Amino acid sequence: MASSRILELANGIGKFTSLIHDHLASHDLQFPSFSPDASGTLPEELLKAQDAVLNDTAELHDLLMPPISALHINGNVQNLVSMNAICRFDMANSFAPGEETSFAQMAKHAGLSETVTKSLLRHAMTIRIFCEPKKGVITHTARSALFREPKIQNFIRTGLEEMTPAALRTLDALQKWPMSEEPAETGFALANNTNQLIYEILGDDPARAKRFADTMNIFTTEKGFETSHVISGFDWQSLGAATVVDIGGSRGHISIALAMQFPALKFVVQDFEITVKGAENDMAEAVAERVSFMAHDIFKEQTVVAHVYYFRWIFHNWSDKYSIKILRSLIPILRPGVHIIINDVCMAEPGTLAAWREKELRTFDLGMLAILNGRERDAEEWKDLFERADPRFHFEGVTQPEGSNLAMIAASWSG
């Protein structure tokens, strides 16, 4: 029998699926399923096998899918419509996992017609949200059970009500302001008929702000954002009794974690006044004397003398123009040997990541463009950013801690 790409893919899928199965079986671990009580994650040692299976199944799926059907399925927004309906009408909380319900009962709970409810739910079922084990009977899946959580509902609503309108106006923004690096000349600005930044718009609407904050919280607390990657990603111990300024550090969770691990270090957490107000009251007594908070505008001249200036997930919000301003704001206070550490996404070379991971990163990249004219950067672009800010910044390279979604991008000041 002649070989073919589809057969190669099928063999690879079989090989790595068997590896995953055998590992889970030998360690008496739960197998993946759509059951509401499924764990949803695999052990770290299986992640490479997981990537291989997801890569090969995605390619096999795309090879066998007619091109026009693929464009239709991947290019529509109906997934968000059915998901948002489940959130807005709180459908997942109309019955509990392990129970059964009907379309009529779901419709009554939602206050919608049974016909529309059936259309919405049966579409959601095509992406494994709820299932219909027999005609007219609805049960929960692992995905639908997530929709019982308010933060997940806010995550979905942010996607449809904030990001989608911004995305749909992004090309209009590029036509109107083709070379703009301004954070208020974006698809989000056009969708909201404003010249204000997204932060200002959300600040005037507590409900929208809460939805957006919950969305960011999901991203920053999921697997791959653990503080352990920051602890292991830089030689903090070598600093001795040093001061670290955590710029844009919110309520200081990174500084607190580092302070617990490295008792010789002191930290100053800087952020908006409203963000840092009262933050010292949330700290453990063990680090209270070594972690302080102050209000600071990242575009204003830095005033704290330190050995390290640390930024976590800050620069992707900003275009190069403003990212350079942030770096230059440090210069008046810098001394030779001072470290600048940017803890942010570093885009891999195309084709070097699992396809699903690369797609997620490139989706983030376009999302930042839509709402702030921000961007994700690769290693060359990070190096270029430092060089354009000032040739006295010495770029030291990028470290990607194993299992981390964020890289440690390091530079020092040569003076």
Instruction: Phi first, then psi: give them for residue 361, nearest 5 degrees.
Output: -65, -40
Tell me the pLDDT tens digit for each residue of 315-330. 999 999 999 999 999 9
Q: What is the per-residue pLDDT for 114?
A: 97
Contact 80, 159 (CB under 8 A): yes
Contact 209, 203 (CB under 8 A): yes
Superfamily of domain 223-413: Vaccinia Virus protein VP39 (3.40.50.150)
Res. 203 pLDDT band, cuts 50 70 90: confident
Contact 327, 309 (CB under 8 A): no
Percent of the chain having pLDDT more than 90?
Answer: 76
Tell me the pLDDT tens digit for each residue of 250-275. 989 999 999 999 999 999 999 999 88
Instruction: Phi first, then psi: give them for residue 409, nearest 5 degrees.
Output: -105, 115
Q: What is the per-residue pLDDT for 300?
A: 97
Please name the residues in contact with 227: beta carbons below 8 A apart, sequence gap of 6 or more.
Answer: 253, 254, 257, 258
Q: What is the per-residue pLDDT for 15?
A: 96
| Average pLDDT of the segment spanning 40-44 | 87
Of 370, 400, 369, which is closest to residue 382 (Cα–Cα)? 400
Return mean pLDDT, the chain: 93
Please name the residues in contact with 379: beta carbons below 8 A apart, sequence gap of 6 or more.
Answer: 346, 397, 398
Contact 299, 324 (CB under 8 A): no
| Average pLDDT of the segment spanning 24-45 | 91
Res. 68 pLDDT band, cuts 50 70 90: confident
Res. 1 pLDDT band, cuts 50 70 90: low
DSSP percent split of the chain into helix, strand, coil, nearest 5: 50, 15, 35
Whether the per-residue pLDDT at 2 is higher than 80: the answer is no
- Given CATH 3.30.420.270, say whether it is the number of domain 76-146: no
What residues act catalytically? 316
Please name the residues in contact with 364: beta carbons below 8 A apart, sequence gap of 6 or more.
Answer: 316, 345, 376
Whether the per-residue pLDDT at 39 is higher than 70: the answer is yes
Contact 382, 343 (CB under 8 A): no
Is the Cα torsion angle 252, 258, 262, 268 positive or negative in sign? Answer: negative
How is residue 133 written in tokens?
Answer: 């084990």
